[in-house]
Chain A
Amino acid sequence: MKRYDKVTPEGTKDYLFDECNRRSTVTGVLKDIFKARGYQRVMTPAIEFYDVFGASAAYLPQENMYKFMDQKGRLLVLCPDGTIPIARLAATRLMNMELPLRLYYSHNVYRMANDLRGHSSEIYQCGVELIGSGSVRSDLEMIEMAASSLEAISAGGYRLEICHIGYFKALIDSLGTDEDTKEEIRHHIEQKNFASLNDVLEQFPDNKAANALRYLPRLFGGEEVFEQAYALFDDEAARESLDYLQNIYRCLQQLGLAEHVIIDLGLVNQAEYYTGIIFRGYFDEVGEPVLSGGRYDNLLSDFGAAQPAIGFAVHVDLASSVLEKRLPAVADVLVMAAADEYLVKAVLYGKQLIAKGQIVENCVLEEREAAIAYAARCGISQLHVIGKTTEMIDIEREC
């Protein structure tokens, strides 16, 4: 029998040294931002019942979930999403808390991606949710926080794209077609597939909404997008969404974020999930979105507690790939007891140095020469030998 005892499963890997450091730098930065705005951390289990995600099959296909059974034969999954367990929590244990709830989480989610195309199945996510408020105030709070998060990690090399799904919904509803065609149109807009989109829309000649939909994948950029969008279609629902988005955009401009913010009215992924503002963040040199979020006012009603909500999550490992790769820190001092009778003295000595902020490695070797050679190999600059007296050896001079 082939034993898989020396490898990790497809889509997973061991994170070593600087990879761990970069991950904790990013989560540290994000947690500081979240905490400073009054968000509280929650930890939901890595194992959940399948039923928690059953209603979300449209964007969490069951074939991408890791499934297994508990002792009673009930179907379990490794948590594939950060937001849905929070919705479950908000609709149950947190139901009677003062609203709005401000929550954040920082943990792995699991989506099976055994496609050998460079995607991980184990994704570290750090995210926030603001539950119980559907106003422009909470939207602005969330988008500003997303921009601050991207800024803090990338030191400026980022873009934040925003959209309001209402514009697309107004267009597609006024087209008056069946659900399958709607989904097909949405899919082509998401993929910016101009050719196929044209083919589908040909069945609606001289239709203003169809014309606007045809142009939707190109409706991205700066402020000029609004003018184009108003000109293309301006029934009441469409105008309302555009007014709303423009208001937010102007607030972001006043916050000095204009150069980072892109409007993309063709951002229609997960249109049945999002109900208002949608946004995504990009870093220079990273080929996939590092942050994604939006307003999802219908999710909590799946759990029997209709509440508006908005949130976003950061793909921590993608985000941390822009941080400088630094070699792991080496110890400043190697401390060695000259003989066994000085072991305690050496421990006390080491603790003193640690208290002063130095990194101290305890030497497990017994020979002075071997210790010097070891320190030289590891790049530790000082060896302190603790005996009757303390001998400080400068390794560079010694070798």
Chain B
Amino acid sequence: MKPIRIALTKGRLEEKSIEMFEALGYDCSEVRNKGRRLILPVKNANIEIVLAKAADVITYVENGVCDLGVVGKDTIMEAGGTFYEVADLGFGRCKFALALPTGVNFYEGYHTRCIASKYVNVARSYFEKKNMDVDIVKIEGSVELAPILGLSDAIVDIVETGTTLRENGLVVAEEICQVSARLIVNIASMKLRKTEINELITQIESFVQEQKERRKEKEAQKEAAAQ
């Protein structure tokens, strides 16, 4: 039987994803010592792991060359696509936000606002919902630069702690939505390899549930300690 192929997002979500699979008992030593290899076997299961950039994870899963993928909701919202999104993995938490220079009222005046973002589709649909015409400029790197340099009135970006924003004189004006890592599945794979994939999903779900409870416990302990 062909191995189940899982695409993981490189970078921000990589370590947490690998930790999750290790916690489920999968041997990820090959993934940890990947060198320059791109397809990495899991030794104690019929699974292969592929590391890819976030948007590519979606493309690979959508086209069925990978059966499953771990990718941020931010990328899913931006790129869209046809696949099953079966679990919120709970890690990689952050939020989409509209941020502007401190002390500025975004809605004052009547000029057309200019918004800088790496996530142009998210930004566009956010302002479409508000029935606002805005100019959207795509920025690939540090979006915070755009309002500082005077290119845009505001930015739409993912915010984790808000430190970068503060350091650059920006504040969160509106929260757009929460995002976190998701498990996605190719539509045909879900049907053709139901047993194996369902088993994996069930394992991952119970892992997520466990983590959730552990987090709650920790918070409760913290609260108790504070009192």
Closest to A283 in B: B188
A282-B62 contact in complex given A193-B84, A194-B87, A195-B88, C-beta closer than 8 Å = no
- Cα A170 to Cα B189 in complex, Å, equals 28
Contacts of B84 in A (CB 8 A): 191-193, 217
| A117 with B81: CB separation less than 8 A | yes
Whether, in the assembled complex, A284 has its beta carbon less than 8 Å from a beta carbon of chain B, the answer is: yes
Contacts of B4 in A (CB 8 A): none
| A161 with B187: CB separation less than 8 A | no
Closest to A118 in B: B63
Closest to B82 in A: A288
A288-B187 contact in complex given A191-B85, A192-B84, C-beta closer than 8 Å = yes
| B192 with A159: CB separation less than 8 A | yes
Residue from B63, B86, B188, B194 in contact with A117 in the complex, judged by beta carbons closer than 8 Å: B63
Whether, in the assembled complex, B185 has its beta carbon less than 8 Å from a beta carbon of chain A, the answer is: yes
- Cα A33 to Cα B103 in complex, Å, equals 71
Shortest B13–chain A CB gap in Å is 16
Contacts of A193 in B (CB 8 A): 84-86
A284-B192 contact in complex given A117-B62, A118-B59, A289-B187, C-beta closer than 8 Å = yes
Shortest B190–chain A CB gap in Å is 7
Whether, in the assembled complex, B117 has its beta carbon less than 8 Å from a beta carbon of chain A, the answer is: no
- Cα A78 to Cα B87 in complex, Å, equals 39
Closest to B85 in A: A193
- Cα A194 to Cα B185 in complex, Å, equals 12
Interface string of A151-170 (1 = CB under 8 A from B): 00000000101000000000
Whether, in the assembled complex, A45 has its beta carbon less than 8 Å from a beta carbon of chain B, the answer is: no
Contacts of B59 in A (CB 8 A): 117-118
Contacts of A192 in B (CB 8 A): 84-86, 185, 190
- Cα A162 to Cα B27 in complex, Å, equals 37
Whether, in the assembled complex, B65 has its beta carbon less than 8 Å from a beta carbon of chain A, the answer is: yes
Whether, in the assembled complex, B64 has its beta carbon less than 8 Å from a beta carbon of chain A, the answer is: yes
Interface string of B162-203 (1 = CB under 8 A from A): 000000000000000000001001111111101000000000
Interface string of B61-93 (1 = CB under 8 A from A): 011110000000000000001111111100000
| A161 with B87: CB separation less than 8 A | no
Whether, in the assembled complex, A287 has its beta carbon less than 8 Å from a beta carbon of chain B, the answer is: yes
Residue from A159, A191, A217 in contact with B191 in the complex, judged by beta carbons closer than 8 Å: A159
Query: B64, B188, B194: which has the most chain A beta carbons within 10 Å?
Result: B188
Shortest A194–chain B CB gap in Å is 6
Interface string of A287-324 (1 = CB under 8 A from B): 11100000000000000000000000000000000000
Shortest A115–chain B CB gap in Å is 8
Contacts of B65 in A (CB 8 A): 287
- Cα A288 to Cα B82 in complex, Å, equals 9
Number of chain B interface residues as a range: 20 to 34
Query: A159, A193, A286, A289: which has the most chain B beta carbons within 10 Å?
Result: A193
Closest to A221 in B: B194
Contacts of B82 in A (CB 8 A): 288
Whether, in the assembled complex, A139 has its beta carbon less than 8 Å from a beta carbon of chain B, the answer is: no
Shortest B82–chain A CB gap in Å is 8
Give A254-287 interface residues, CB cut-off 8 Å to B: 262, 264, 282-287
A282-B188 contact in complex given A117-B81, A287-B64, C-beta closer than 8 Å = yes
Query: A192, A196, A264: which has the most chain B beta carbons within 10 Å?
Result: A192
Contacts of A283 in B (CB 8 A): 188
- Cα A117 to Cα B58 in complex, Å, equals 10
Contacts of A284 in B (CB 8 A): 192
- Cα A289 to Cα B84 in complex, Å, equals 13
Contacts of A217 in B (CB 8 A): 84, 86
Contacts of A195 in B (CB 8 A): 85, 87-88, 182
Shortest A261–chain B CB gap in Å is 11
Shortest B118–chain A CB gap in Å is 17
Interface string of B41-71 (1 = CB under 8 A from A): 0000000000000000001001111000000
Whether, in the assembled complex, A104 has its beta carbon less than 8 Å from a beta carbon of chain B, the answer is: no
- Cα A264 to Cα B88 in complex, Å, equals 22
Shortest B85–chain A CB gap in Å is 4
Closest to A195 in B: B88
Closest to A192 in B: B84
Contacts of A287 in B (CB 8 A): 62-65, 186-189
- Cα A220 to Cα B194 in complex, Å, equals 9
Shortest A271–chain B CB gap in Å is 16
Contacts of A285 in B (CB 8 A): 64
Shortest A348–chain B CB gap in Å is 53
A289-B188 contact in complex given A118-B63, A195-B87, A221-B194, C-beta closer than 8 Å = yes
Closest to B84 in A: A192
Contacts of A282 in B (CB 8 A): 188, 191-192
Contacts of A289 in B (CB 8 A): 187-188
- Cα A289 to Cα B64 in complex, Å, equals 11
Closest to B193 in A: A284
Shortest B9–chain A CB gap in Å is 17
Shortest A222–chain B CB gap in Å is 10
| B188 with A288: CB separation less than 8 A | yes
- Cα A262 to Cα B190 in complex, Å, equals 11
Please list the 7 inter-chain residue pairs (A to B) with the smallest Cβ-Cβ separation, ordered nearest first.
A287-B64, A195-B88, A192-B84, A193-B85, A282-B188, A287-B63, A287-B188
The 14 listed contacts between A and B (C-beta, < 8 Å) are A118-B59, A191-B83, A193-B84, A193-B85, A195-B85, A196-B88, A220-B191, A220-B194, A283-B188, A287-B64, A287-B186, A288-B64, A288-B82, A288-B187
Given A192-B84, A220-B194, A285-B64, 5 more A-B residue pairs with CB atoms under 8 Å apart are: A192-B85, A192-B185, A282-B188, A284-B192, A287-B65
